[in-house]
Structure 1
């Protein structure tokens, strides 16, 4: 009985070892696939600067560079991360624009200042929805309530917020045609601010490129064209975000 038992345990251990190796191999394959997918997302196929056809195509497609990226004095991955950051900032700002019933995230952009500290309104108290047009902020103490109320007034989200001790009541404007037009205009201003920041990123990158010695004229030209393509790619995405937001504001579901 004992030898047979030991033999069975040996078979079990061998099976567990093979299964573990199988799992590790699959994890390595998945990691490789993820890295490949990320690289493909960073360099989408298509000609530089050419806009895609059809709705929801993601704007201008970004092709692969025609030069050795290691020779480029501008860190392209870091540059694209900065552009992504600008898109994310615009997305966060658009989340604070009302297109239908009120939600707590309409107050995400409100920053409260107390002494040397600045923090989100959601950290000053609990934000809740009272009805389809009213938000309630319940703060923790009178000092925080005062600072939070001043932040709401300064943010100009609603015309007449009301403070009652620790509670702030925010009556949002009715979604009239005139109000929607004003909000679309505000969204457009946010877009232009984002595009200006993107143009600054491009300008800084081009200055860095032109200030580098030892590059051939062809390489410099190809690199600057690619910097332009990066800018075009992300500006097109920002434009598309605005078009979608403006449509949601003007034509709520």
Structure 2
């Protein structure tokens, strides 16, 4: 029974780490990455649609993104949505293709982004700890386990929690280094 609890905790904690990693891809580091625009939604026939469903997004140069809409009628809406996404980007259109130059990050902007990354990391750790708490509560309620088994299970869950929190710290340090790199 304790193995079930451990597996459940591990799945929830791994999901929290995956969500964090996915969320961090939307933070601009000064290098062009199509993932930067993953959070952009465009109004398309009355529905908010992810940009990647309306256009091909590429990074032909280290500091340039290009967006080739499948339907040219949404060109203006795509530009407007990118500006509204508050990513600090200024798209330019030539009527066929949208070019999005990636500006250099200022020192202040780097610090702000680094702070945001740390906040996201803390939210990830909170999700991991919440998973730990839920599983520990289930272990307490499990009448099939002896006190020793419950204690061993809680220790095992704590080791998992520590491992995933360390993994989050590593991800955050890597992302901060990427942001601070000039």
Q: TM-score, normalised by structure 1?
A: 0.60
Count of aligned pairs between the two proteins? 182
Partner of 1:125: 55
Match in the other structure for 2:141: 211
**Structure 2 segments unaligned to the other structure (5+ residues):** none
Pick aligned residue for 1:244 from 167, 170, 174:
174
Give the corresponding residue for 2:19: 89
CA-based RMSD of the aligned residues comes to: 2.9
Q: RCO (CA 8 Å, sep 6+): is it higher in 1 or 2?
A: 2
Larger Cα-atom Rg: 1
Q: Structure 1: where are the runs of 5+ without partners?
A: 1-70
Partner of 2:36: 106
TM-fit CA distance, 1:85: 2.3
Provide TM-score, normalisation by structure 2. 0.80
* Closer/same/farther in 2, CA of residues 197 and 154 from structure 1, 3 Å limit: farther
Aligned counterparts of 2:123 and 2:43: Cα–Cα separation in 1: 24
- The answer (yes or no) to whether the contact 2:25–2:35 under 8 Å persists in 1 is yes
Cα deviations by residue, 1:13-55 (Å, 9 ceiling, x for unpaired): xxxxxxxxxxxxxxxxxxxxxxxxxxxxxxxxxxxxxxxxxxx
What secondary structure, in the 3-state scheme, does the structure 1 residue paired with 2:59 have? Answer: strand
Instruction: Indicate the SS of the match to 1:244.
Output: helix
Q: After superposition, give the CA deviation of every residue in 1:118-142 in whole Å (9 maximum; x if it has no partner).
A: 6542221122336543322121225
Residue 194 (structure 1) shift: 1.2
In 2, Cα distance between equivalents of 1:173 and 1:181? 16
